[in-house]
Structure 1
Amino acid sequence: MNISESDYKYILSVLKKELVPASGCTEPIAIAYAAATARFYLGEEPEKLTVKCSGNVIKNVKGVTVPNTGGLKGVRAAAIVGTLGGDHEKKLEVISNISDAVIKKIHELVDTDYCSVELLDTEEKLYIIVNAIKGDHICEVSIYGSHTHIVKIVKNGEILFDDESSDLKSESDTYDKNKFCLDNIIDFSDNVNLDDVKEILERQIEFNINSANEGLSNNYGITVGATLKEGATNVFELAKAYAAAASEARMGGCNLPIVTNSGSGNQGITVSVPVIIYAREKNIDKDTFYRALTLSNLMAIRIKIGIGKLSAFCGAVSAACGSAVAITYIEGGRKQQIEYTIKNMLGNVSGVVCDGAKISCALKIASALDAGAIAHKLAMKNQVLEKDTGIIKEDIEETIDGIGRLGSEGMRETDKVILDMMTAGHC
């Protein structure tokens, strides 16, 4: 094992931090979490809520069904369900247990002036401020940078909590890319003590496949997953069908938990479900399977470090790159073929834009996985896009960093246009 002990521990800690369960799309759940926390510290049920969100949060909440709300969508539904029935201690599973009485009350309040929503003027992609108000009492909770990263709690002007150490930075901004170089990622995956990762991987396998089965069994969205499964003629098509089905269930309001990757349930689905199905259909031994799944998760995290949690760059692309790399690994590909898979993938579909979380994410996941299958097949024949083919560089780290720059810097204006188109000036 070439990876140092300190780098090993660092990568393991990030892996455990990023692979966490969430019930529902993570942006509305983050709002619900902030609202539940505000209500808890207020100490009583508020008579009014104000919610301020960055544009990317609004974009990712607008079109997705919030679980346990009786089919409601949007910021108001997320904030109200978190306030009335949320358990802030459960974090991204904050609204996993909501009573029928609470759901009824949400429907009574969602179209009133109980909750007001504002767009925050900020460059930060993930920023949420919730105020819970009762008479002269007010509690404000701020989330910044990642979905459960509370940076401040203020009640009646008194600061109850202030995470000064965050310096208002996204948590992923502090990740060390040097420790997450491809050599370290491969070495970690090759040599990780499986007892260190078995628990989080088995939870990811169980939760995400359960959601795939739910999506295949019931009519969510336009039944992308079920339709693809009907016509599947090979393992790649079957893997694509299961992943699309899991996404449709999640975007359609299914309350089953998903294990996320890089703050996203859809990315958690895309890095895991195709690898699970591929390994199952090919009868891959568990040791190889767990190591491939580890590699898939780490590859997606590495790409997202540069892009950030939220962007106009569709996260299905980075996650599908992880899956493609894992399949290359399963098929005996080593560093060269893994590099080739990454380059072939990122040189193909790096222009897919994110126009918010919604039911059609299943289609983008399916398309990204198609590109991943192509990238893998070419790599196994030692075919790769040459350096300077568009944004592809000779050095793999430069290539990945370039994708990060494209997603974080290059798509800023794209993000603004998408948000304007989606909201028409309204939250």
Structure 2
Amino acid sequence: MRNLIVNTLKREVVPAMGCTEPVAVALACAKAKELLDFSCIERADIYVSPNIYKNGLGVGIPNTNEVGLYIAASLGLIGGKSEKGLQVLEGIEKEDVILAKELLKNEKISLGIKDTEEKIYIEVNLFTDEGDSKSIIQGKHNKFVYLKRNDEVLLEERYVNIRSNNINLLYTLKINDIIKEIEKISYEEIAFMMDGINMNEQVAMEGLKDKKGMGVGYSLCQNVKNGMLSDDLMNSAMVLTAAASDARMSGINMCVMSSNGSGNNGLTAILPIVAYKNKFNVEKEKLAKALAISHIINSYIKYYIGRLSALCGCGVAAATGASVAISWLMGANEEQINGTIKNMLANVSGMICDGAKVGCALKLSTSAAIAVQSAFLALSNNIVPDKNGIVAETAEDTIRNLGILSKEGMGITDGVILKIMKNMQTI
């Protein structure tokens, strides 16, 4: 189990620049471009899943003053480098932005919603003066399953849903058993977890320098300084997490450490723990293990609700991971660990995802606060009782109930959210 945990962390906890949905579109475009040697782009026809469209519609793109999927796609075609993965837009120059905007002005890029049940699907069909190419990302934001140059198929992988992948063994285990195994892992094996603290805290600090995005973190911080809010753990977690989201959603030119394919999940999984670290003396090994617990719980829950869904992954998954990690740092026993999860999911299970945007800072601040609250309540043995709404006897069954809610109950909701967002775009 130890290798499975470490390998999962290495695969799911990676740096990303910009919101992962438009970045994934840029990545697919960059790869399609690199398959050809051409002088002129005639057109690029791009199709994305409803969830990719929803999450990329209103979010800021790094190195530009623009938002959305069109500019991300155009930048991928002009200056993106696929070898950088989810950091594909790192190093974009001003000249690239000018050329990307020109490409859009000339209406060379079309973007449509693919009729698919896949949560993550991006298809790029590129036509140039020297031939055409095609790239498809599916299942994960950086997973290419199909590549074609003219009539030559370069890559064709049968897409295997992560739920039928052998990684599902981890997500069938009891959470306390996973935590016990993480406790046994040496610091050297998970020292890379500490990179996320440095990276995400730096982004939060940028969000606190001045008002970025909605300025949620900045405003909360000012209220702490003037005495309107107390300088406690809950407010510190809110300030850091919101500030980082403010910066990221406004398109700051900095990488964040993502978690399970989401940068905002990474902020939420890490920064409440940073707030705890800043308040209390925590040795590096214990801090690294707390981060590992947070990321694994995030992935565990998202295995059941989906990597993208109508539920806010930051609230129901990443914040739950952070809450469990904080409980563990405070010495919670097994029953209290389970109680932390129950408290979280009894509280935030109704938080919807209506796309990535500057307003996400509000949801992240709320999620961070509830993460601390749920941990404190569980440590005091104040735990939501069994059969209380979707809360089951065990934490694992409660998570499965949340998965049923997400998959069976929220499918229509997801479509309605997207319809509302599209209608507002045409007003």
Partner of 1:3: none
CA–CA distance in 1 between the matches of 2:165 and 2:408?
A: 14
- Where do 5+ consecutive residues of structure 1 fail to align? 1-6
2:179 counterpart residue number: 186
Alignment partners' CA distance in 2, 1:189 and 1:101: 47
Please tell me whether the aligned partners of residues 11 and 180 of structure 1 are also in contact (alpha carbons under 8 angstroms). no
Given that 1:11 and 1:179 are in contact with CA atoms closer than 8 Å, whether structure 2 keeps it comes out as: no
Which of the residues 199, 218, 221 maps onto 1:226? 218
Question: Cα RMSD between the aligned structures?
Answer: 1.7
Structure 1 residues 268-417: aligned runs within 5 Å: 268-317=266-315, 318-417=317-416
12, 19, 23: which is aligned to 2:13?
19
> Aligned equivalents of 2:174 and 2:356: distance in 1?
29
Cα distance between partner residues in 2 of 1:140 and 1:330 = 48
Counterparts of 1:106 and 1:172 in 2: how far apart (Å)? 39
> Which amino acid letter does the alignment assign opposite residue 278 of structure 2?
R
> Which residue number corresponds to residue 54 of structure 2?
59
- Cα deviation 1:316-353 (Å, max 9, x = unaligned): 11111111111111111121111111001101110100
Residue type of the partner of 1:226?
Y
Residues 34-49 of structure 1: pairs in structure 2 closer than 5 A: 34-45=28-39, 46-49=41-44
What letter corresponds to residue 152 of structure 1 in structure 2?
Answer: Y
Cα deviation for residue 180 of structure 1 reads 4.5
Count of matched residue pairs: 417
Partner of residue 4, structure 1 = none
Deviations 1:70-111 (A, max 9, x none): 211122101110110011100101110111111111222224
CA shift at 1:163, angstroms? 1.3
Partner of 1:265: 263
| CA shift in 2, pair 1:31/1:160, >3 Å | same
Q: Distance in 1 between matches of 2:318 and 2:419?
A: 27
Q: Mark the runs of 5 or more structure 2 residues left unpaired by the alignment.
A: 225-229
1:131 aligns to what?
Answer: 125
Structure 2 CA distance for aligned equivalents of residues 98 and 171 of structure 1: 36
Paired residue secondary structure (2:389): coil
Displacement, 1:135? 3.4
Contact 1:208/1:272 (8 A) holds in 2: yes
Match of 1:158 in 2: 152
- Equivalents in 1 of 2:334, 2:211: separation in Å? 41
Q: How does the TM-score come out when normalised to structure 2?
A: 0.94
DSSP 3-state at the match of 1:394: coil
1-structure distance, mates of 2:97, 2:127: 21
Task: Confirm or deny: 8 A CA contact 2:85 2:142 kept in the other structure.
Answer: yes
Which of these residues, 126, 134, 138, is aligned with residue 144 of structure 1?
138
Q: Which amino acid aligns with 2:50?
A: G
Identify which of 233, 242, 245 aligns with 2:243. Answer: 245
For the pair 1:99 / 2:99, whether they are aligned, the reply is no
* Whole-angstrom CA distance in 2 between matches of 1:346 and 1:304: 13
Deviations 1:365-403 (A, max 9, x none): 111122222211210111111111000000221111111
Match for residue 111 of structure 2? 117
Percent same amino acid among aligned pairs? 36
User: Contact 2:163–2:303 (CA<8 Å) still a contact in 1?
Assistant: no
**Residues 1:61 and 1:306: Cα distance change in structure 2 (over 3 Å):** same
Shift of 1:178: 4.5
TM-score of the pair, normalised by structure 1: 0.94
